[in-house]
Amino acid sequence: MKRDKIRTGTVLRLLAFAVLLAFLLAPDRFAGLLTPLTNNGAPAIYNQGTLLDLTLSHLFTVGLSTVAAAIVAIGLAIFVTRPAGAEFLALSRAIVNIGQTFPPVAVLALSVPIMGFGEGPTRMALFLYGLLPIFENTLVGLSTLPPAVVETASAMGMTGRQRLLKVELPLAMPLIVEGIRLSTVIGLATATIGSTVAAKGLGEVIVAGLLSNNLAFIVQGGVITGVLAVLISDGFEALAHRMAKRRGASSEARQSDPDGQGSSA
Amino acid sequence: MTTLANAETSRAATSRIDRFGVVIAAFLIGALALPFATLRATRIASGTGLRLFDALPATTMVAVLAVLAATIGAALASRRPAVRLALGALALAALALAAGAAGAHLMPDDNPYARVAPASGFWVALFGAAMLVTDASVRLKLGPAGRIVALVITATLIVGLFASGAWSHLSIVAEYRNRADVFWRETINHIILAAGSLAAAIAVGLPLGILAYEIKAVRDPLINVLNVVQTIPSMALFGILIAPLGWIAMNVPGAHALGIRGIGMAPAFLALFLYSLLPMVANTVVGLNGVSRAVVDAARGMGLTGRQRLFQVEMPLALPVLLTGIRIALVQNIGLATVAALIGGGGFGVFLFQGLGQTATDLILLGALPPVALAFAAAVVLDAIIEISGRGKA
C-alpha cells in the first residue's frame, strides 16, 4: 500500500519534470495552449530571451548563494557547538530566531541601497537569509545527538576532530540537508522577486506579464517557477529521507518537529 | 548535549576575556570610522557621508560618544547581564536620538529638498548595541510577561520619538509625510491581507486538521498537497491565481460585485490563505497526536463522548502546538503580504516596490521596515502567549 503511494508520487514527479523540460526546450510547441490567455495578438511565449536561459540563471543564482550560505552556516554552527565558541551559542540562537521573522523580500529590498541593482542584492539577500535555516538545523543536529553515541566515540579514543567528522556531522546530516532544502526553497522564491531589482531570472517573465497585462506570460512564469521549486524541494526531501534511513530511526524521529515548517517567501 | 555541557564548563574555566564583548566593542568602534549620516541634495541624488564627529553638534556628539564608551566598557568588563542590558538599551536610545539630531543639524535651511538619512555607521552601531541587548536578555531569561513589557516600552519609545518630531528632519519621515494618508491605508490593507487570510485559514484549517487526525486516509494526501502549495514561490502563486480568479470575476454572476478580480487583493488573499493552511492543518494533527493516550483513556473512562473529549480535553492540551502554527503562519503572512503589491494587492509592498522603481532608498525603507517591525512584534507576542499556554501542560 505504502509502496504504491510512493510510486505514484515518483511517476507524477517524473512526468512533471519531463513536461517542464519539453516546455523549456521547445516552448513554441506549447504556444497553442497559452494563446487563449492573450489579448490583441500579444505573443503567447515570453520572447525577451529564452526561457531555458532564464531558468538556468535563476538556478545558478540560487545555487551559488545557497552553497556559500551552507559553507558559512555549517562552519558557524560547528564553531558555536565547540568549547571555543560556546560564548556565542545563546546569542546566535537568538539572532537566528529574530532573523527568521524578517521577510525575505525586505532583506532583498534593503540590500539594494547597499549593492545597487542587478544580481548583487539578490545574491546578498539569498546568502544572508539562506544562512538561517541551515545554521538552525545544523545546530539542532549537532546539539541533540544521543549522548551515548558521543561518549562512546570519546571512549574509543577519538579526538575532537575525528568525532566531529566521523560521528557528529554524519549523524546530523539529514537535518542539515533539510536546512539546505528550506534555504533553497526560500531562495528560489526570493530570486523570483529579484527580477524586480533587475536580476536575471524567471520572475522576469511574471513581471513582464504583469506590466503588459499578458496572462500567458504570468501563467508560464508562475508554473515554471512553481514546478521547479516543488521538484527541487522533493529531491532534497528524498535525499534527507534516505540519509535518515541509513542512519537509523533515531535521527529520523527528530525531524518531525512542529516548528519546522514555514518556508515560503 | 554532552558537547554543549563540556563547552560550558571549559568556557567558565579557561576564558578570561569575554570574546563576545570584544566583538561588540569592535562593532561600536568600527562604526565611528564609517559615515554616520548621509546628506543628499534631493531624495534620489547621491550623497556625501558624514562621520559622527561631523554630523552632530558638539555637545550632542560628546554625549553620544560618552554613552558608546560606557557601553563598550560594559561589554568588555562586566559579565552581569543586567548591566549590559541597561547600557545596550541606553546606547540604542542614544543612537536613535543622535540620528534625529543629525537630521536637524545637517538639514540646510535654503534647500527643503535636501535629505538626511542615517548611514552605515549608524546601522553598524545599532546592530552592535542590539546584539548586546539580545545577548543580555537571553541570559537574563526574561519571562513571557517581561518580553511583552519590553516590546511595549520599545514601541512606545519609537512612537514617542516619531510623534515628538525628534526625527522630523530624517528622510524616511519626509517620505512618510508626503504620503501619510496612503501609508495608513496600505497599513490597513497589509493587516487585512496578513491577519484576514490567517483568520480564514484558522476557520478552515482547524476542522481540516481534526479531520486529518481522525481519518488517517485523509492525512497524508492532504498534508502532501499543502506541502506542495507551501513550496511554490509567492510571486508564482499570486500569478497563477490571477487566471482562475479573473475567469470567475467575468463568468460567475455576483463575483465581481463581491470584489473578486483577476488582480488586486483577491488573488493575494487567496494565496496567503493557502500558504497558512499547511501550518494550521499540520500543527493541529501534530498537537492532537501529542496528547497522551492515558489522558484520552481517562476522559473516555469518565464517560465523555468523542465530541466532548475533543473539545474539552484534546484541543486544550494541543493548544500550544496550535498556537505555534498560528505564529508560523502569521509571521510568514506579514512578510508575504509585502509581495502582494506586485499584483496590485496593496500593503507596505506598494512603497517598497515604488522605492525600488525610483531608486529612492528612503521609500524602500518606508516599505521594508514596517513589515519587519510588525513580523517581529507578532513573533514576540505569540511566543509569549505560546509559553504561557504551555505552562503546566508539558
Q: Does domain A50-260 have CATH number 3.90.105.10?
A: no
Asked if residue B278 belongs to a domain, the reply is: yes
CATH of residue B326's domain is 1.10.3720.10
The cell numbers describing B39, all together, are: 546628506
- Residue B187 domain flag: yes
- Whether residue B154 is contained in a domain is answered as yes
Q: Are residues B241 and B115 in the same domain?
A: no
CA-nearest residue of chain B to A92? Answer: B135
How buried is residue B121: exposed, middle or buried, by Cβ count under 10 Å (0-12/13-18/19+)?
buried
Query: Among residues of chain B, what percentage have pLDDT more than 90?
Result: 49
Q: What is the mean pLDDT of chain B?
A: 88
For chain A, list the strands marked E by DSSP: none
CA distance A258 to chain B (A): 6
Residue A151 is nearest to which of B2, B243, B372, comparing CB atoms?
B2
More confident residue, A178 or A265: A178
Residue A46: its pLDDT value, please? 86
| One domain for residues B158 and B186 | no
Q: Please write the tens of the pLDDT for every residue from B68-111.
A: 999 999 999 888 889 999 999 999 999 999 999 998 888 888 88
A103 near B376, Cβ under 8 Å? no
- B371/A222 touch (CB, cutoff 8 Å), yes or no: no
Q: What letters, b where the CB count within 10 A reaches 16 and e where it falls short, cover A26-49?
A: ebeeeeeebeebbeeeeebbbeee
Together in a domain, B198 and B132: no
Residues B28 and B120 in one domain: yes
Return the closest-CA partner of residue B374 out of B327, B339, B335, B344.
Answer: B335
CA B261 to chain centre: 29
Closest CB from B237, B282, B368 relative to A261: B282
| pLDDT greater than 60 at residue B379 | yes
Q: What is the pLDDT of residues B227-245, one digit of tens each?
A: 889 889 988 898 888 888 8
How many Cα neighbours within 13 Å face the side chain of B209?
Answer: 27
- B2 domain-assigned: no
**Residue length of chain B:** 394
Cβ distance B2 to A150 less than 8 Å, yes or no, reads yes
Closest B-chain CA to A147 = B2
B206/B155 same-domain check: no
With a cut of 60, say whether residue A254 has pLDDT above it: no
Nearest CB neighbour to A113, from listed B262, B338, B364: B364
Q: Is residue A260 scored above 60 in pLDDT?
A: no
The reply to whether B199 and B142 lie within a common domain is no
pLDDT score recorded for residue A5:
55
Q: How many CB atoms lie within 10 A of CB B379?
A: 20
Tell me the C-alpha to C-alpha distance, in Å, between residue B13 and each of A243, B8, B9, B135, B335.
38, 9, 6, 21, 44
pLDDT in tens, A156-213: 888 888 888 888 898 899 999 999 999 999 999 999 998 888 888 999 999 888 888 8
Same domain, B56 and B109: yes
CA nearest B171: which of B116, B105, B100? B116
Q: Which residues contact A153 (CB under 8 A, 6 or more apart)?
A: A162, A163, A166, A167
- B368 is a domain residue: yes
Which of A17-21, A80-84, B255-259, B378-382 has the least mean pLDDT? B255-259
Residue B5: its pLDDT value, please? Answer: 46
* Domain total in chain B: 2
Q: Where are the domains of chain A?
A: 50-260
Cell of B136: 543580555
Asked whether residue B135 falls in the same domain as residue B219, the answer is no
* Nearest-neighbour CA in chain A from B376: distance (Å): 6
Q: Which of B171, B188, B204 is the last residue of a domain?
A: B171
B chain contacts of residue A210, beta-carbon cutoff 8 Å: 239, 263, 342-343
Q: Which pLDDT tens digit goes with each residue over B114-132?
A: 889 888 899 999 999 999 9
**Average pLDDT, integer, range A127-148:** 90
pLDDT of residue A265: 54
Residue A59 in grid coordinates? 538556478
**A102 contacts on B by Cβ (under 8 Å):** 335, 372, 375-376
Is the CB of residue B206 less than 8 Å from the CB of residue B199? Answer: no
> Can you tell me the distance from the alpha carbon of B203 to that of B23, in angstroms, rounded to the nearest whole number?
47
Q: How many Å apart are CA A154 and CA B321, to the nearest integer?
A: 37
- Tell me, yes or no, whether B189 and B314 share the same domain: yes
Give domain status of residue B394, yes or no.
no
Q: What is the pLDDT of residues A198-251, one digit of tens each?
A: 888 999 999 888 888 888 888 899 899 999 999 999 999 989 888 888 776 544
If asked whether residues B136 and B194 sit together in one domain, one would say no
Residue of B122, B235, B284 to mutate when probing chain A, most A C-beta within 10 A: B235
Residues B191 and B96 in one domain: no
Domain termination site, one of B152, B171, B190: B171
**A101 to chain B, closest Cα gap in Å:** 6
Of B150, B171, B192, which closes a domain?
B171
DSSP string, B203-246: HHHHHHHHHHHH-HHHHHHHHHHHHHHHHS-HHHHHHHHHHHHH
Q: Which domain holds residue B52?
A: 14-171
- Clarify whether residues B114 and B256 are in a common domain: no
